[in-house]
Amino acid sequence: MKDGPLIDPPDRVVFLYRGDAKDVGIATDLIGVRREDPLQRVPDTDLFFYEAQVEASARVNYHFVRDFGAPMLDPRNSRRVPGLLPGTEASSLAMPGWREPAHLIESPDGRRGRLETVEFASTLYPGAKQTLHVYLPAGYEGTVDRYPAAYVLDGDMARAQGLVPPSLDQLMPAQVAPALVVFHGNLDWGPKPPAEAGALSQEIEIIVREIVPLIDRRFRTLPTPAGRAIVGHLWGGITATHLAFDKRRVFGALGLQSLFMLDTDRFGIEPLVSKAVGTPLRVYHDWGFYGHVSTREAADLRETNRRFNTYLREKGFETAGGEAQDGLGWASWRNRTDRLFAALFPPRK
């Protein structure tokens, strides 16, 4: 490896920083967010190092923190990926057994879908509005066919940092059945936002009663539960799960990546799951082995997601996905866009 951390196969990694500094720390998926570990200085030099064990097929994000300043990229590492926060970047460590997914490569013009903008204004909650971005697969205009539709919460990040549209270009139709994808960003609630306790239920009502019917009227969709999927990440996974198990059965497929579920969320969701036992639902659910969130605050997404995945399977819902040798955020989730959408909308035979 010409730059970046030193790798001693199969799993030993040494992160290096050289420069004028009194203190250097590392923030990384390996130890969780809101935490920094110190690099050790080689005596009488300006060289600092941090040693870790990393699975041979893993990929993780990291930053350096020099003299307690802002997080910085590794000057020795040319590999950049999206950071956890919008508009940020991180340095990426890819172990020798990890492979860049082929679907992240941009497709030729003839295979590209296009994005159409749809302006939405709520009548249920006047003042609430949103700009939706709808992905139409290549060939949509040339047919009279109806298409399934996936609704992706955190849609702005999914488009920009998750690279979902170019990935879909690569995946459809060989690996994923051609589908519309509705990128649902943050709602603008206007001058009278709901109280925090009511925001979830109001967003669910907007999606079920207004946005889904709007998309069904505007585009050639399959207006049935089997033809709809809802996808969520972190806190958006809570909204997605509520929608998938809503008694109105609007969605017949659920995609979750790194679900962030507190006990208060679990107590509200598990009864919905129990009531839906026997209802057809395709489920994809993954999370990162290095997606801790915060080891010093006893917040471990691995245990949260393992527990909920087990609960789903105990209730009879088969789940694709599972634990990945990756971290947290779009730099991780986008590596499994192929598995996610193939589970939601399998390719036509």
Predicted pLDDT at 208: 98
Q: Which residues of the chain have pLDDT under 50?
A: 1
CA distance 137 to 166: 10
Asked, colleague to colleague, whether 6-99 and 103-344 share their fold, the answer is no
Q: What is the pLDDT of residues 117-151, one digit of tens each?
A: 999 999 999 999 999 999 999 999 989 999 999 99
Strands 129-136 and 114-121, bridge-based pairing: antiparallel
CA angle (164 as vertex; 313, 114 as ends), nearest 5 = 130
**Tokens 């919008």, residue?**
86
For residues 260 and 301, the answer to whether their CB atoms sit within 8 Å is yes
d(CA 11, CA 17): 20
103-344 CATH, one of 3.90.45.10, 3.40.50.11720, 3.40.50.1820, 3.20.20.105:
3.40.50.1820
pLDDT of residue 332: 97
pLDDT value, residue 156 = 96
Which residues are bridge partners to 92 per DSSP?
61
Terminal C-alpha separation, the chain: 42
Residue spans of alpha helices (H) in 134-284 = 155-160, 164-171, 196-206, 212-218, 236-244, 263-275
Compute the radius of gyration of the chain from its Cα atoms. 21
Give pLDDT, residue 2. Answer: 56
Stated as kind and residue range, the H or E segment containing 81 is strand 80-82
pLDDT tens, position by position, 66-120 = 999 999 999 999 999 999 888 899 999 999 999 999 999 887 777 899 999 999 9
CA 160 remoteness from chain centre: 12
CA pair distance 306, 205, nearest whole angstrom: 29
In whole angstroms, give the CA distance from residue 87 to residue 236: 19
pLDDT of residue 1: 42
- Distances in Å between the Cα of 276 and the Cα atoms of 239, 265, 271, 307 are 16, 17, 9, 18
Domain boundaries defined on the chain: 6-99, 103-344
Copy the structure tokens of residue 140. 């949509």
Q: Which amino acid is at 258?
A: S
Considering the segment(s) 6-99 as one domain, its CATH architecture is Sandwich (2.60)
Residue among 290, 291, 344 nearest 320 (CA): 344
Q: What are phi and psi of 141, to 5 degrees?
A: -65, -25
Provide the 8-state DSSP code for 234. E
Closest by CA to 6, choosing from 51, 38, 36, is: 51
Pair type for strands 228-234 and 253-259 = parallel
- Furthest CA-CA distance within the chain: 72
- Angle between helix 263-275 and 301-314 (nearest 10): 20
Query: In the prediction, which pLDDT does 226 show?
Result: 97
Listing DSSP states for 35-75 in one string gives --EEPEEPTTSSEEEEEEE--TT-EEEEEEEETT-SEE--T
Residue type, 26: I
132 near 120, Cβ under 8 Å? yes
pLDDT recorded at residue 197? 79
